[in-house]
Structure 1
Amino acid sequence: MLKKFQKKFSASFIAILIVIACVVTSCSQEGGYEGPMPVVPTDPSKPVTFTDFFPKEGAVRTLVFIEGSNFGTDVSKIKVSIGGIPAPVIGSSGTKICVMAPRRCSRGDVVVTIMDENGKVAKEHQFENLFTLQESLVVNTLIGKVDPQTNTSSIIDGPFEEAEFQHPWWLEFDIDEEGNKIIYCIDEENLAALRKINLTTKEVSTVFMKGQAGVHQVKSMLFDTPTRDTLFFVDDNGRGNWNDRHQMPNMHYALRKEGFRKVYPYLYGQCSYSAVSMSDGTLFYNTWQSSQVYKARVIFDEASQMWDGKALFSVRANASDHIFMFRHPDDLYVYVTGFNGVYKCAYDKTTKELVSSALHVGDLNGRSGYVDAPGSSARFNRPRQGVFVKNPEYVAQGKTDVYDFYLCDHNNNAIRKVTPDGEVSTFAGRGSVGTDGKVWGWIDGEARETARFREPTGICYDEEEGIFYVADRENKRIRTISVE
């Protein structure tokens, strides 16, 4: 697979180099000059003209050529946008500019600005014809260096090209005080380390290691919804009996003002797997034992001087499982993944409590499988982290619930989509099935036809850019899903 990727990359890179050479080199038959053109700005004594651009349609990263005269060859003085999005300028021969079609340029208007040697606008032109973006849903690899011979990796910080992950498990999206887009990643299911992925600077760093934090087996994390100044960590502390509830924390917290580097105990209780923070600040958590849901810090124990939670209900009566909770952005309810399904818990804003859960999609008996279908006809195999994403079509239709739910279907090696009405479909993964029948692996490309994952567990979403980020656990990489 790596050889195939390297071959594809090399071919693309060589093609771009050839294009650059063609753009910046004037052939002897045309102008009597051989070799690279000198870097010069536009000639102020002559008019700047535009004749056409081609091709008129293509996918993201399509090379688009703009023809005319007196453009100059200094690409720093040439600005091009397609659909209002800046298009990288690869080269200019003076009569032909080469740019690359950017993401999200579907509006299609092509605008070219030529600057003079003093940086002032010499000419701005908008073509009448539009560039038509051929969009498709694509999976790409963002980060994760893996030894191709042994398929091994470790916890190594550095630039995206060099950074390694052990087994990325859970993701939380954030924007820091400086405006950098950040993803916090639990590396390894039991948190070997908390990693910080800076999408702006394209660097990975380690916030803390497990031994530094004093945690046991962190299974998930979440920001407090009202302020996002606190990051909670939910811990399977190995204590399944309430008699042990004051021995080890089941929740910890870290503060933004301390860079989330110092971890403090927050609650003591049974082993837990997830929590959810409502917009009013109310916090709920669940335990492995009896899949019980609790309202946090309700009862104060004078003897121990500790807060206990208030038991509300079991997600599934007389059954225990790894369950994970997710708040609806409008506080309409909380989704719970577990028991090979997705459960819905309504939120009473008056009492500030979750009410008993009901199966939304998945098998009534908790049996595993892989089926895209509505309601109880759908099948999952160990669903894990999920994220709500607003659907513009629902907004236009005036629906009460305008969010779809996207989740990692761990053992099905796929990202699934659940609508508010309970329709389940496969969003990405399980593509390009070969003669061996495998649906898992590490393959980038079109989300359904080509791409493959290997036990994805974590997912978050950048609403501004429209990009999903996926913790592809067994591939030891962070992947992206976006329209290109």
Structure 2
Amino acid sequence: MKKLTLSMLLLFSIFSCNKDGETNGGEQTKPIDINRSIEVTDIKPKEGGLGTGVIINGENFGNDTSKIEVYFNEKKALLLKVKPTVIYAMVPKQPGDLSEIKIVAKNVAKPLEAVLKDVRFQYHIKASVTTVAGVFNVSAVKDGPALEANFKRPSFVAVSDDNIIIVSDDDAGRVAALSLQDNKVYTLSTDFSYPWQSSYTPDQSALFIAERTTASKPILFRGLYRNKNWLEPVPFYDQKDNNGNYILGTETIVGMTADQEYVYLITSGAKKLVRVHQQTRKVELIGEKLNLSSWSYLAFNKKDGYVYLASEEWGRVYRFDPKYTPAGNDKPWIGNGQLEHLIGTGRGKVREGVGTSAQTGSLSGISCDADGNVYTCDFDNHVIWKIDPQLNATVVAGTPGVSGYKDGIPKESQFNSPYGVYATSDGILYVADTFNRVIRCVAIQ
């Protein structure tokens, strides 16, 4: 069971075969036959937790993941691959102690569905940390099978709902993709100078990756798009103000995030905060000379519409409303009065708590899940923090103050200055464990 969970090693090993032992060369390719019923006959394994890989056998599933849905009770599972007689999927978060398995055909001329009879999937609450890509302590550039691939310095990650993990390998000037379905790492682009923090739009149609250094200027960031298979990065450029000066100029971009309409960037020392319209590409200054530490990182929380900010030097978390527009202004303007201090008393050793009673070390990457929880990396203390909507700040993974490399139980695991974290909609965290040179997966319930 443990080997199936999250790392999906068993699923990766069997993707080349169907239930009858066919190889990919003879893979079934029949679409759903709307004149036949769907049948579901078995699921393996019959128990597990969040992220467990399952194999569902049956008939008339087709071969298109966009036309099939799998439900554990009323919670939809993530599909990895569909063949006419087998579905590969991942167990969703907390569907119930015992789950009825239902298969539904959608986007077809005739609605079809089937339920697995006389079998219920038993759900276990559990938590684990696993390595999903990279070789421990090897700093290099190498594509290939996930656990044989290398990263020079993986700093940030962004994860799509179809389990494609985009890695900013900043010292290599490289953006890589890790496909959990194919268990492979491959280079997407070497067009970047220093690819840095990245962010999907809420609908995941686009991914934006910041260019950190002045060497790339006037390029601010690049956009990758789902309809182009995340290839051919499109540069977004700085623009000049009314005095003929570039709005960001030579400032170092340290944090970025995106909502559905804008990309937000913050520079070193919080000297400038800008937004860039994704369609018109207009660059607007919406804040400057904010009272923050030298480096800050951003995350858009679609649950409440705020942008959350992790302050590296001060060990604090803030938030602001990116739409706040003072009276008499025709666009937002974020001043120090709009920064709401949520977590942290100042950089130091780990102290869990509520609101400003909690104490963290230096914070970097920050991300928000679908429930509004906020996660951030503490690279001083080598841990991952969770901040819930009630501002309870707790360590969810890593051993406080201990730098190392260890998978397993989250609070017994070890990281080495993790920099980037990204939360999927189903509650799984992916971490750029920067100085271990690997990508880790944290499943917490």
Stretches of structure 1 lacking an aligned partner (at least 5 in a row)? 1-12, 14-55, 63-74, 87-100, 112-123, 239-246, 299-305, 392-402, 432-437
Amino acid at match of 1:161: L
For residue 118 of structure 2, what is the aligned residue in structure 1? 126
1:312-341 CA-partner distances (Å, limit 9, x unpaired): 24441xx65111111121453211111211
Higher RCO, Cα 8 Å, sep 6+? 2
CA contact (8 A) 1:172 1:185 kept: yes
CA contact (8 A) 1:291 1:314 kept: yes
For residue 336 of structure 1, what is the aligned residue in structure 2? 309
For residue 299 of structure 2, what is the aligned residue in structure 1? 326
Determine which of 379, 384, 388 is the counterpart of 1:419.
388
For residue 134 of structure 2, what is the aligned residue in structure 1? 144
Amino acid at match of 2:413: A
For residue 164 of structure 1, what is the aligned residue in structure 2? 150
CA contact (8 A) 1:360 1:422 kept: yes
Determine which of 347, 360, 381 is the counterpart of 2:322.
347
For residue 459 of structure 1, what is the aligned residue in structure 2? 421
1:264-275 to 2 correspondences below 5 Å: 264-267=235-238, 269=249, 270-275=251-256
Determine which of 390, 393, 405 is the counterpart of 1:442.
405
1:63-74 to 2 correspondences below 5 Å: none
Distance 1:103 1:328, change over 3 A: closer
Say yes or no: does 1:310 pair with 2:290. Answer: no
For residue 474 of structure 1, what is the aligned residue in structure 2? 435
Q: How far, CA to CA, are the matches of 1:59 and 1:362 in structure 2?
A: 33
Q: How far, CA to CA, are the matches of 1:273 and 1:61 in structure 2?
A: 32
Amino acid at match of 1:344: R
CA contact (8 A) 2:253 2:265 kept: yes
CA contact (8 A) 1:415 1:427 kept: yes
Amino acid at match of 2:167: C
Q: What SS does the aligned partner of 1:261 have?
A: coil
Say yes or no: does 1:220 pair with 2:220. Answer: no
Determine which of 329, 335, 344 is the counterpart of 1:362.
344
Identity of aligned residues (%): 21
Matched length: 348
The alpha carbon displacement at 1:296 in A equals 3.4
For residue 125 of structure 2, what is the aligned residue in structure 1? 135
Q: What SS does the aligned partner of 2:356 have?
A: helix
1:78-157 to 2 correspondences below 5 Å: 106-108=96-98, 126=118, 133-146=123-136, 151-157=137-143
Q: How far, CA to CA, are the matches of 1:296 and 1:103 in structure 2?
A: 35
Amino acid at match of 1:416: W
The alpha carbon displacement at 1:216 in A equals 3.8
The alpha carbon displacement at 1:223 in A equals 3.5
For residue 85 of structure 2, what is the aligned residue in structure 1? none
Q: Give the structure-2-normalised TM-score.
A: 0.65
Q: What SS does the aligned partner of 2:369 have?
A: strand
1:266-305 CA-partner distances (Å, limit 9, x unpaired): 22522211223233x13332111x413423369xxxxxxx
Root-mean-square deviation (CA), in Å?
Answer: 4.4
Q: Give the structure-1-normalised TM-score.
A: 0.60
Q: What SS does the aligned partner of 2:181 have?
A: coil
